[in-house]
Every structure is written in C-alpha cells, then in structure tokens.
Structure 1
C-alpha cells in the first residue's frame, strides 16, 4: 500500500454476489414464514410458531441487509461521508443483531406463557411443516455461506479474503442459522411430545432456542459495536508502528481505527528533527498493510 497525497476515500467492498443471494433467501424466508405462522396457529405448536416468527423478523433483517448493500453502493463516492460508506455494512449487521435479540426475548415470553397454559398440539401436521422449514433454512444457509461462493467487489483497492469481514452478510447468515436451530428444536420437541406425551418440551425448546440465539446476538454485537465506536486497533500493533518510526521520530499521538469492516485509518503526530518529509515517513510505514488511509503530522523535536 502506498500512501500518497491524492487518494480515494472509497473504502467500500461491495459484495455483489452476497446481495444477489440475500434476495433469493428473502423470497424463500417470506414464503416459509407465512406457511409456518399459519400452520403453528392452526396446529397449536409454540415451537412451530416461534420458528415462523423468526422467519418474519429475519425477513425484515434481510431487507436491512439489502438496504445496506444498495445504500453503500449508491453513496460510495459521495463527499458527505468522511471515509465513504464502509460502515453501512457494519451498521446493518449491528441492527440485525438487535433484531435477533428482540426475537429471543419474544420467544422467552411466549414460551413461558405456553408452559403455564399448555395448548393441544396436532403433532403430525406440525412436524411436517417444521421439516419443510428446516429444509428451507439449510438451503438458505448454503446460499449465504461465503466460504462456498466467489465474490465480486466494487472497490478501488485489491484486498484478499474481504468476505470474512462482510458483517452485513454475516448477520444475514446468523439469522438463517438461528432459524435452522429453532426448526431442529421444534422437530425434536414435537417428536417427544407425540411419542412420550411431553407437551411441556415444546415450550421449553423455545426457551433453549432463545438462549442460544441471545449468545449469537451478543457475539455479533461485539464484532460490530467496536467498529461503530471507532475502537483503536490492539496495542501491540500500535507499538509496532511506533517502533518502526523510532529511529527517526517519536510518536506523540496515534489513533488507528476501522473505517469499514476491513479498512483501517490512522492519524498520528510525531516529533522529529531528521528533516524527512511526510511522504518519506509514510514510506517507512508501508509494511503496515492494515492501514489504508494515513494522516501524518510532523512537529519539530526539542533541540
């Protein structure tokens, strides 16, 4: 990476393939959502209803994912954003994580209600629909799994493994993974209820699913929250940067933070009497390839 005076502030890696696959999953999810909610209501299965509700919330989350992709692409070169729209994808992921958390909370509330007020369940019909839901979820997971697809990125820079940092697509994947989990739990609960009469297990599985989804929610928020809050890169990396400059300059102030899911910006103030120019110091830092935008200020050192 060469730090030049004239450079682009477009740090968006638009995942065209991911956007297209999200549309397919949205259509599948919406259709299955309608089927499961209607069937869960008719057949009296809380586990099936929970799965359908997940589908509905996740369909909304996929709309957020698509909006983030298209907004970031549309405004990629706008001067309204200091470092481009790279964080739009991260914000989409964070918002989807909140949606997951709301689903988990609703699951707990309804499951507790069902534990206290059991309802008659038509097991055969409910199991059939739950299996259909699981098949749809698994198909959606394969569609959204970045490890099985090639990617097209609209970007001014070349970066390897960019897909590992697409928090927007990662959030969509977590939603269908949560759906798959609740489908499995629903099937297990319905089978035990049918053959052993454990009606209470249907509601209990809803609580178990909510706890697991809550854990995923927290994990996704931990990934995206620090980026949105401009958290500094780890101390070891900053110390390495300071050491690279140490022979010629002393670092007085340094900030290195993410401006997208995979791009870092750095702002530094250094003291030096070496007579080197800003460009020369930037060349000394070229090996730190995580930094894609560098602002460097030089102050004269004490005589």
Structure 2
C-alpha cells in the first residue's frame, strides 16, 4: 500500500486549554450546586437564578471539552480531508450561539422587571453577586488565552492566533463577570439610594455588551466554517509572483483550521519551469500550509 508523502492533518490540539476548561467546569459546577442548594434552603430567588445561570455556562464548557476530546481522538482519521482543525471552530460557533441566547433571555427578563419591579433582597443578592464575581475572576485567570495577545508574524495578516474554542469559553466567563460587576453596582445603588430600577437597566446594558461579543465571535468563526477565501491583497501577491512566467487560470486559498490555509492553483505556463520550481517560487507565501498546483504547458492549451 502506497503512503502519501505529506500529511493532511492541520489539527491544533490545545492540551493546556482543555485542562484549564476542565478546571473551570468543576469550579462552575461546585458554585452552581452550592447556590442552588442555598437558594432552596433559604428561599432566595437570587441564589437560585444565579445558580441555574451558571448551569448554562457549565453546559457551554461541556461543549468546549467535547470538541477538544473529539478533535484529539479523530485527529488522524482519514475521513477528515484536512484533519479536525475545524472542530474547535464549530465548538466556538456553537458556544457563541448559546451566549447570544443568554443575552436575549437577559434582555427579556430585564425588560420585564423594568416595567414590573419586584422586591429585592439586597443583602442576599449582593452576596450572590460577590460569590459569582470571585468564581468568575478565578475562571478568567484559568481560561486566559495568552496566544490571543500575539499577532500573526506577517504584517499583512490582521487576524490573531487564538483558540476560538477556548475564546468562546473565555467569553462565557467574561459575560458572567460583567453581569456580576453590573449587578453589584446596581444593588448598592438600590440598597442605599432606592434606585431599584437600576438593577433591570444594568441587566439590559450587560446583555447588549454580551451580544456585541457574540457577534464578534460569530464573525471570527463563521467565515472559516464557510471556507471564506483569503483577502484579495494576498491573492494579488500570488498573481504578481506568477505573472512573468504563467497565467493563473484558477486560484483558491481558504482556511482548513483556525490557523492553516490550503490553496488550489491552476496555471498555464509560458516558461520551461517545472512544477517543483513553481512550488519553490510560492514558498514565500507561508500562510499556505497545503498547496495543490496544476500546471498546463502553454503549447498544450493552444492546441
């Protein structure tokens, strides 16, 4: 049986991200169980609602962990043409949808409470918000993706190298942190100044900010899932490089994972360069990790 000379697996396994997500999931589940138990015993809706809210994020972390495990398990499975690199992208996209649903529910509930004020148990609610803030700050430290601080090495690439799956989990924690901070501010004003309406208003503000993060994550992940082409400037550089020696008949460059591009190029050669020489000319375009090059001699095309 003949084997291929190069691999087609562009799966980036983030072991550190998987481990961090597991720690955050355990931390979130512990806090969720404690709040639901305390809320049931003391009859506090604030504790119960925050506990179940943490449950929605625990579900999102389960999605993150599943995608890590699935991508790792099937990384060398031949059924996937370019490996399982897009599994983490799909996980990030799915988590973004879940985050958007949470934002919509927050807007609905906050709007309802704005026009139908309810009695607030300030001391218990503030305690819940502080506990939630502490848990979320610890989770943010665990999930912080250091890679997203580093731009790609190439100046023309404005996209940053980060794990979209881990970033989705991070945004879930960041959303919870934001709501905890806004809740504490609103509850303090409500307790000491009687501004009960501020609690509902802060909920709407938080939901809008979360919605903005959701759209940002969707804009990052959906083009990769839909095989969006690389920017026109990069393709033009390829055309310019080949122009003196060949005519490009077909050119496709697209992402096969969060960080890897594949290219399929068909050219009509006007020189005596070999396929290997053309590939060597294109090595400078190192965003392309997998290149399929089809070369037709000009004389053959004219007949």
Instruction: Mark yes or no: TM-score above 0.5.
Output: yes
Q: Distance in 1 between matches of 2:172 and 2:79?
A: 31
Alignment correspondent of 2:135: 136
Q: Distance in 2 between matches of 1:166 and 1:283?
A: 31
1:148 Cα offset (Å): 8.5
1:274 Cα offset (Å): 1.9
1:120 Cα offset (Å): 1.5
Matches within 5 A, 1:38-49: 42-45=43-46
Moved more, 88-97 or 118-127: 118-127
Asked if residue 180 in structure 1 is aligned to residue 185 in structure 2, the reply is no
Question: Cα RMSD (Å) of the superposition?
Answer: 2.1
2:230 to 225, 229, 233: 233
Instruction: Give the structure-1-normalised TM-score.
Output: 0.88
1:279 Cα offset (Å): 1.9
Unaligned regions of 5+ residues in structure 1, if any? 150-161
Cα contact 1:43–1:123 (8 A) shared by 2: no
Cα contact 1:11–1:259 (8 A) shared by 2: yes
1:276 Cα offset (Å): 2.3
Alignment correspondent of 1:65: 64
1:290 to 265, 287, 291: 287
The answer to which structure, 1 or 2, has the higher relative contact order (CA under 8 A, 6+ apart) is 1
Q: Quick one: structure 1 residues 139 and 239, their matched pair in 2 at CA, closer, same or farther if it must change by over 3 Å?
A: same
Alignment correspondent of 1:31: 30
Unaligned regions of 5+ residues in structure 2, if any? 149-158
Alignment correspondent of 1:248: 245
Asked if residue 111 in structure 1 is aligned to residue 114 in structure 2, the reply is no
Moved more, 33-42 or 84-93: 33-42
Q: Quick one: structure 1 residues 216 and 237, their matched pair in 2 at CA, closer, same or farther if it must change by over 3 Å?
A: same
1:146 Cα offset (Å): 1.9
1:163 Cα offset (Å): 8.8
**Matched residue SS, 1:14:** coil
Q: Distance in 2 between matches of 1:39 and 1:207?
A: 27
Count residues in correspondence.
Answer: 285
1:49 Cα offset (Å): 6.3
Cα contact 2:147–2:161 (8 A) shared by 1: no
Moved more, 193-202 or 48-57: 48-57
What do the CA deviations read for 1:122-176 (whole angstroms, capped 9, x no partner)? 1112111211110111111110112299xxxxxxxxxxxx993310111111110
Q: Distance in 2 between matches of 1:286 and 1:86?
A: 22
1:258 Cα offset (Å): 0.3
Q: Distance in 2 between matches of 1:205 and 1:40?
A: 23
Moved more, 107-116 or 185-194: 107-116
1:166 to 137, 156, 163: 163
Cα contact 1:22–1:144 (8 A) shared by 2: yes
Alignment correspondent of 1:83: 82
What do the CA deviations read for 1:259-292 (whole angstroms, capped 9, x no partner)? 0000000001111132322222111111111000
1:205 to 188, 202, 205: 202
What do the CA deviations read for 1:67-99 (whole angstroms, capped 9, x no partner)? 111100100111111111000010000000000
Alignment correspondent of 1:127: 126
Q: Distance in 2 between matches of 1:201 and 1:35?
A: 27
Moved more, 247-256 or 107-116: 107-116
Alignment correspondent of 1:153: none
